[in-house]
Amino acid sequence: MVLQRQAFGVHDGVRGNLKGQMPTALTVLSVLGAAFFGVKMLTDPIGWLAYALGIAGCLFVWTRNTNVRHANHKVSSMNALHDIDDRPTLDRALASDRAILYKHSTRCPVSSYVIDEVHQFADTHPDWSIYILKVVERRALSNAVADELGITHQSPQAFVIKQGTCVWHASHSDITAERLDAQAT
């Protein structure tokens, strides 16, 4: 199954999702902060400046977060990401001549940032197949990867597959576009 990048948007309530169906925690806090500021300004005219600076900071972070999130989740036109949703797709990934197998958790904030690194790699390496395995939704397939490769499960986790062999793996913040690029050569 071929997926577009939006399918891997973050739904953790901190960064929100790409379709805007659920308000982010930062949005809710900004609205509550603005309401609190209005009340505080009426009841404590001297202390309102400190609250105004706090609200301005929240709004700045919220705006920056929204802009970065949308910039990082553009649809890749160079190559598709393949969702591993069954055993034949997993077997195809593990037998690839050149592929990245990325184990992604839809509940992990670290995964939400690391997948951007995988996207950056995908954008600059259209000749590589990129396979995404959602570990929460596909636990049995995730366990099969750990068993077959003999590598303890972690999430997020990336494997570089060359000629049907895992030649490199990393987890968490060790997964960067630069490190993936170094393994691609």
Tell whether the model's pLDDT for residue 177 goes beyond 50: yes
Q: What is the pLDDT of residues 123-164, one digit of tens each?
A: 999 999 999 999 999 999 999 999 999 999 999 999 999 999
**E-only strand ranges, 5-142:** 81-83, 98-104, 129-134
Q: Percentage of the chain surpassing pLDDT 90?
A: 52
What is this structure's pTM?
0.61
Distance CA 76, CA 72 (A): 10
Q: If you ran DSSP here, which 8-state letter would residue 74 be given?
A: P
**E-only strand ranges, 20-139:** 81-83, 98-104, 129-134
Tell whether the model's pLDDT for residue 69 goes beyond 70: no
CATH code of the domain occupying 76-184: 3.40.30.10
**Mean pLDDT of the 111-130 span:** 93
